[in-house]
Amino acid sequence: TAQEAALRIFEKRLLQEIGYGLVLDHEAISGRTVEADALYVYEVESGPVMQDHGNGGGKVLRGSSLLALARERLDDRAALKDAKHLMRTVLAHHLGGRPLHSRKLFASTGGGAGEGFKR
């Protein structure tokens, strides 16, 4: 939904503002641009790692989803689902498992239901 997409973008920007901005457009090991048709595992401390680099753990994310989040264009269901998983993983890592209640925080900043999230 539009509200879910706005919430994921809010979380991404919140991480950026507190110094934990996400690397979404280039691969952590090689530095190459993320490929839309490739699969990646997101290493919280470094960024996306192409799946064939021997990394066994972690949720596999589509390159197209990483690029969609980087561009803040979460228009399709797959990208939104991947973004939700990625945000939960990254936020849990940085918060040490403590809840953020980002939906409440988002609503308190004027990002209510149905509203777009403008920069």
Tell me the pLDDT of the chain averaged across its residues: 86
Q: Which residues contact 111 (CB under 8 A, 6 or more apart)?
A: 6, 7, 10, 117
Could you give the strand order of the β-sheet that contains 47-50, starting from the edge strand earlier in sequence? Answer: 47-50, 39-43, 60-62
Q: Which CATH architecture has domain 2-108?
A: Up-down Bundle (1.20)
Question: What per-residue confidence (pLDDT) applies to 115?
Answer: 45
Dump pLDDT digits (tens) for 4-62.
999 999 999 999 999 999 999 999 999 999 999 999 999 999 999 998 755 556 789 99
Dump pLDDT digits (tens) for 64-78.
999 999 999 999 999
